[in-house]
Amino acid sequence: MKFNLFFIICMLYSNIGFSQDELLSLIDDKSSEYSKYVFKGTKVVNSASVEMPDAGVLQFMIQHRFGTLNSGFYNFYGLDNSQVRMSFDYGLNDRLSVGIGRSSSLKAIDSNVKYRLIRQSKGVQTFPLTICVSSSIVFKQYLTSNSENNNFLFSNQFSYSHQILLARKFNRQISFQLSPTLIHYNLLPIDQLVHDLYSLGYGARYKISNRISLNIETFSQFNSENNVNPLSFGIDIQTGGHVFQFHLSNSAFMIDRAFIHETYDLWSEGSIYFGFNISRVFTLKD
Amino acid sequence: MIRNLLPLLLLCSINCFSQKYISNDGEITFFSYAPIEDIKAVNKKVSAVYNSADDNIVFQLNINDFNFRKKLMQTHFNENYLESDLYPQSTFIGKVIVLEGDKAKVKGMLTIHGVTKEIEADGTLLKNNESVKILSEFKVKLEDYNISIPTIVMYKIAEEILINIEIALNYSQ
């Protein structure tokens, strides 16, 4: 009986005195923590990453690719040749972005849309991957003289690219991305046999400091003829308002279909292209 | 006799239990006034618990929940300065040490960016049976919390950040 009384008084006492830690435990954290900033830029090196401009943000990007490093002093090791892709990407909301770009040497206009299905998260909702779908359409302009050919169709100038982007941020340094890709050509390139080409992209980044990351990207092709797999290395440097990206790649191109299926240069021969991207963001809408 | 007293004691214990006020949607805003740029960010998901029986008070927020007008700033804030992947939360654990009318003084440990420092702040505490409203404004030095600002952006980010708190807590069972 005495023990019971003592016990009850103890209970009572413990209820009166709330320690600060107990107060803290009363805060039930219902939120899920999303893994953000999987990559620094909207591109791993050449191909799309799961990142996109934030809602209401316009990203202007200038991409340069020079000639090959083995082209000799006369061509200043490739720096004399350059091609450019300029693009605008805009975040319509937190999940959807659209973009448009123009590649100089390919004479191609491309337009893309990226949609994030789900985000890697832990907490109340746990999901291991960030998943996006990305599609682009490329309009490769032909010369007027081509269009006088009887066989010429306007739609010959189009090709399409569809990707599923599966990314995981393992820790603050390391992220990895798989990109199953389908490219459809309306008009076959001269060395291809089928209209639909399948490939799988691998991308990864390693953050060496808060502002600098190293990236690597390659694609393996399943049913493409003659061309080689692209292999690219990049370094992303984030400054106040810009992201600078420097690359070395055996592909000179900046749109999906071209760097995946139209690459013929070999790293082993030193046919390596130096390139860089500069991107700047503008907040258009709060 | 004890058996007869038991309900009474239980009732009493429930009474003591119910002196807490809780909020999950408090607002904390911070301001940085620097020569080139003024920066403001607001977090509307601040949790707070106040126990009026012993004047203990705690705040907690997720660094990720701060919203900036410029999203790039938000990225830099999370990635480069507060490193919210390493230190996702900020907490304050303290006690109301002075309460004269509405005027209150609070003292306790503030944790930001993994660093815990003792701070004191003045504010207003408006209490009735249903709710408690807390208002306060104080300053923190970035360097106290190991948040380093590169010289290149020194004129854009203030060394001392003004923090404004506005939280309405509701009486909780």
pLDDT in the model for residue A28 = 67
User: B84 lies in a domain?
Assistant: yes
B16: in domain:
no
> Given an 8 Å threshold on Cβ–Cβ distance, is B16 in contact with A238?
no
Residues of A in contact with B42 (CB under 8 A): none
Per-residue confidence (pLDDT) for residue A224, from 0 to 100 = 85
Measured between CA atoms, how close is B113 to chain A, in angstroms? 14
Interface touch B70/A283, C-beta < 8 Å: yes
Answer for the pair B17, B165: CB distance below 8 angstroms, yes or no. Answer: no
User: What is d(CA B2, CA B69) in angstroms, rounded to the nearest whole number?
Assistant: 63
Cβ–Cβ gap A1/B85 under 8 Å = no
pLDDT of B18 strictly over 80: no
User: Are β-strands B89-100 and B103-112 bridged in parallel, bridged antiparallel, or unpaired?
Assistant: antiparallel
pLDDT at B4: 62
Place B10 in a pLDDT band, splitting at 50, 70 and 90.
low
Higher pLDDT, B50 or B8: B50
Question: ipTM, 2 decimals?
Answer: 0.76
Q: Is residue B17 part of a domain?
A: no
- As a whole number, the mean pLDDT across chain A is 88
pLDDT at A9 exceeding the cut of 70: no
Q: Is the pLDDT of residue A134 over 90?
A: yes
Distances (CA, A) of A253 to A101, A256, A279, B66: 13, 8, 17, 39
Assess whether pLDDT exceeds 90 at residue B6.
Answer: no
Pairing relationship of beta strands B56-62 and B38-51 according to DSSP bridges = antiparallel
- pLDDT for position A111: 96
Q: What residues are paired with A10 via a beta bridge?
A: none
Q: Report whether pLDDT(B159) > 70.
A: yes
Per-residue pLDDT for B27 more than 90?
A: yes
B161 belongs to a structural domain: yes
Interface mutation vs chain A, best among B17, B45, B52, B58, most A CBs within 10 Å: B58
> Has residue B15 been placed in a domain?
no
In whole angstroms, what is the distance from residue A159 CA to residue A187 CA? 8
Residue A196 confidence class, pLDDT cut points 50, 70, 90: very high
Give the pLDDT score at B149.
83
Residues of B with CB under 8 A from a CB of A: 2, 6, 9, 12-13, 16-17, 20, 22, 24, 45, 47-49, 51, 53-54, 56-58, 60, 62, 64-65, 69-72, 74-76, 78-80, 83, 85-86, 88, 91, 93-95, 152-153, 156
Q: Is the pLDDT of residue B100 over 50?
A: yes
pLDDT in tens, A136-171: 999 998 877 776 777 788 888 899 999 999 999 999
Residue B162: inside a domain: yes
Q: What does the alpha-carbon distance between residue B167 and residue B42 come to, in Å, rounded to a whole number?
A: 13
**Domain count along chain B:** 1
Confidence of residue A77 (pLDDT cuts 50, 70, 90): confident
Identify the band that residue A123 occupies on the pLDDT scale cut at 50, 70 and 90: confident
Rounded distance between C-alpha atoms, residue A82 and residue A73, angstroms: 15
Whether B66 is covered by a domain: the verdict is: yes
Q: What's the pLDDT score for residue A2?
A: 57
B147, part of any domain: yes
pLDDT at A16: 47
Binary contact (B80, A26; C-beta < 8 A): no
Give the lowest-confidence range in A15-19, A121-125, A127-131: A15-19
Q: What is the pLDDT of residues B104-155, one digit of tens each?
A: 999 999 999 999 999 999 999 998 888 999 999 999 999 999 998 887 777 7
In the predicted model, is pLDDT for residue A8 greater than 80? Answer: no
Q: What is the pLDDT of residues A233-278, one digit of tens each?
A: 999 998 877 889 999 999 999 999 999 999 999 999 989 999 999 9
Q: Which domain holds residue B53?
A: 2-10+22-172
Select from B17, B47, B71 the Cβ nearest to the Cβ of A15. B17
Q: Residues A103-119: pLDDT tens digits?
A: 998 899 999 999 999 99
| CATH code for the domain in which residue B122 is found | 2.40.128.110
Is pLDDT larger for residue A26 or for residue A245?
A245
Predicted confidence (pLDDT) per residue in B64-75, tens digit: 999 998 888 898
Percent of chain A with pLDDT over 90: 60
Least confident of A22-36, A212-226, B65-79, B152-166: A22-36
